[in-house]
Amino acid sequence: MRLLAAAGTVLLTAHAWVHPGITNSKDDLERLATLAKSDAEPWKSAYEAFAADEHSAKGYELKGLCPYVARTKESATTVCMTDFAHDAGAALQQSLMWIITDDEAYLDNSLEILNEWGKTLKKVNGSDAQLAAGLSGSNFVNAAEIVRHMSDKWAEDDIETFSNMLSTAIYPPAEQHIPSEEQSVPWIANWGTAGAKLVLAAGVFLENQTAIDTAKELMLHS
């Protein structure tokens, strides 16, 4: 028994980081590209619908750049939330369009969105900040993971700027699990699952074991 436990511990701690990870591995992305371009259903129709979506358009333009995004229960104090959500979705869809078509215009669009938000965003707040940070944040990080590890076009200092934004603006509200005055019931139902999704994704992108352990702990025990 003791030997088994010791072996298990070694396996758990001595892992190597595999990229791209989070939602799609390299194999997944290659399979996705092959199926999207084939005549096989349901992939053919699914790809046609995906490509026709406005967030997949080659001419997609950034919706808005805001230093802070607020999602609150009262719409009057909600700031920039839908722009943030649209651009996060577009960052991911543009990265996938690039994977499927091999057309670098999509890669450039994804990089532009990630870089501009990376430079600009300082804070996600409001009573429902966890949802905004968890849902849109996950789209941003998945896009970032794909373009970082499937291309060599993302400059190191831009990656660093994006990583800092992720750690300081998006991660804290997504990770919040102790009630505060502003966010009084964090980590319940879809708030918790959205938050956990971001914490785990950020852990992979940043190669941050603390974040991975936090996500695991929160998923299992909160």
Ligand X SMILES: *[C@@H]1O[C@H](CO)[C@@H](O)[C@H](O)[C@H]1NC(C)=O
Q: Applying CB under 6 A, which residues contact ligand X?
A: 68, 70, 72, 77, 123, 125-126, 167, 171, 202, 206, 208, 210-211
Provide the minimum distance between the beta carbon of 84 and ligand X in the complex, in angstroms, as a whole number: 13
Provide the minimum distance between the beta carbon of 66 and ligand X in the complex, in angstroms, as a whole number: 10
Q: Which is nearer to ligand X, 82 or 101 (CB)?
A: 82
Measured CA distances, 154 to 13, 93, 109, 185, 201 (Å): 30, 17, 12, 38, 19
Please name which of 208, 86, 183 lies closest in space to residue 131, comparing C-alpha atoms.
183
DSSP state of 68: E
Provide the minimum distance between the beta carbon of 115 and ligand X in the complex, in angstroms, as a whole number: 19
- Spatial contact of 114 and 91, defined as CB atoms under 8 Å apart: yes
Q: Which is nearer to ligand X, 146 or 202 (CB)?
A: 202
Provide the minimum distance between the beta carbon of 155 and ligand X in the complex, in angstroms, as a whole number: 20
Listed in sequence order, the residues at least 6 apart from 206 whose beta carbon sits closer than 8 Å to its beta carbon are 163, 166, 167
Question: What are the structure tokens assigned to 132, written together?
Answer: 């905004």
Q: Which is nearer to ligand X, 109 or 183 (CB)?
A: 183
Q: Which is nearer to ligand X, 37 or 123 (CB)?
A: 123
Please name which of 204, 199, 143, 208 lies closest in space to residue 174, comparing C-alpha atoms.
199
Provide the minimum distance between the beta carbon of 148 and ligand X in the complex, in angstroms, as a whole number: 16
Question: What are the structure tokens assigned to 153, written together?
Answer: 């076009």
Question: What are the structure tokens assigned to 209, written together?
Answer: 């074991």
Q: Which is nearer to ligand X, 31 or 122 (CB)?
A: 122
DSSP state of 206: T
